[in-house]
Amino acid sequence: MGARLFYFLVRSAFLVPMYGWGALFSLPYDGMALGGAVAGAFLSVWLMEKALKLKPFTLLDALAPAGMLMALLARLGEFFVSFGQGAYVENAGHQFFPLAVANQWEEWYYAVFMLEALIALACLIYALRMRKHPAGRRVLLTLTLFLLGQIFAESLRAESLKWGFVRVHQLFSVLGVAGVLVYYAAGARRRGAPIAALMLRFALPFLLGVAALIGLEFAFDKWEEAPNWALYMGMAAVLIGMGSLVFGAEKADKV
């Protein structure tokens, strides 16, 4: 339900005038959103922990691998519904699966959903390897890796949910990673770390990373002279840096 609600709210300016509020309860195969699924799953498991009076993150940590497995299967399922495609493939040497996929008119497009499935698989393996860990580490760091990968993959998608020029799932992912960073930075603050030092070490670099991502997204559209591969390498470097900030804050929270 979260996936449908998220999609409906993003597209409400179009859906409500056309179909009314009843459109919320229709379930078209192209009317779901990953952001709502992630947020809904996280919230529902958290509420279950509260209802059962379990220690924080008991269920969330336990179910993190299952969540990544569901994401993996969902991405692979996009093969059957022509979702998750990227740019048109002009080079005949690249027209093969799993690098690309053909539509019903035998036109080839890059299979971004396969990259997203690979990211989910890597996150699944990471979560499974984290057996002994402090509470919350498995789910929060796995989620961080997943969302960082989503920021990159979303930029490759030819079609995505947008508010104007803003890709909604990129915004959702940035906010999610920021939330994890704030959680760990707040823990470090409670352990006595100076707030000014935390701002300089984590908040400022993270905001610079967000600004760099915005600049790169504009560059994809406006800077035609720059090769896309160079811009994507720059984006990957920024995302790795943002991820290192989260992992650094997690370590600071344990000190």
> Which of the 8 DSSP states describes residue 78?
G
In this prediction, residue 239 carries a pLDDT of 97
Would you state the pLDDT for residue 154? 92
Q: Is 27 exposed, middle or buried (0-12, 13-18, 19+ CB in 10 A)?
A: exposed
Burial class of residue 172, CB neighbours in 10 A (0-12, 13-18, 19+): buried
Instruction: Output the pLDDT for position 2.
Output: 67
Q: Which residue has the higher pLDDT, 239 or 9?
A: 239
pLDDT mean across residues, the chain: 87
Model pTM score: 0.90
pLDDT at residue 240, rounded to an integer = 97
**Res 153: pLDDT:** 94
Are 182 and 246 spatial neighbours (Cβ–Cβ below 8 Å)?
no
Confidence of residue 28 (pLDDT cuts 50, 70, 90): low
Name the E strands within the chain.
85-88, 100-102, 108-111, 162-163, 166-167
Q: Give the pLDDT confidence score for residue 255 in this predicted structure.
A: 59
Confidence band, pLDDT 50/70/90 cuts, at residue 254: confident
Residue-wise pLDDT for 42-97, tens only, equals 888 888 888 888 888 888 888 899 999 999 998 998 888 777 888 888 888 888 89
- What average pLDDT does this structure show over 97-109? 87
Residue type, 241: G
Averaged pLDDT, 15-25: 70
- Residue 245: its pLDDT value, please? 95
| Cβ–Cβ under 8 Å, residues 23 and 8 | yes
Residue 29: the pLDDT is 62
Of the two residues 24 and 203, the one the predictor is more confident about is 203
pLDDT in tens, 126-165: 999 987 778 889 999 999 999 999 999 999 998 888 877 7
Cα-Cα end-to-end distance for the chain: 40
Residue 249: pLDDT above 70? yes
Maximum average pLDDT range among 41-45, 82-86, 226-230, 232-236: 232-236
pLDDT digits (tens, 9 = 90+) for 187-205: 888 888 888 988 999 999 9
For the chain, the domains span: 33-254
What secondary structure letter does DSSP report for 22? G
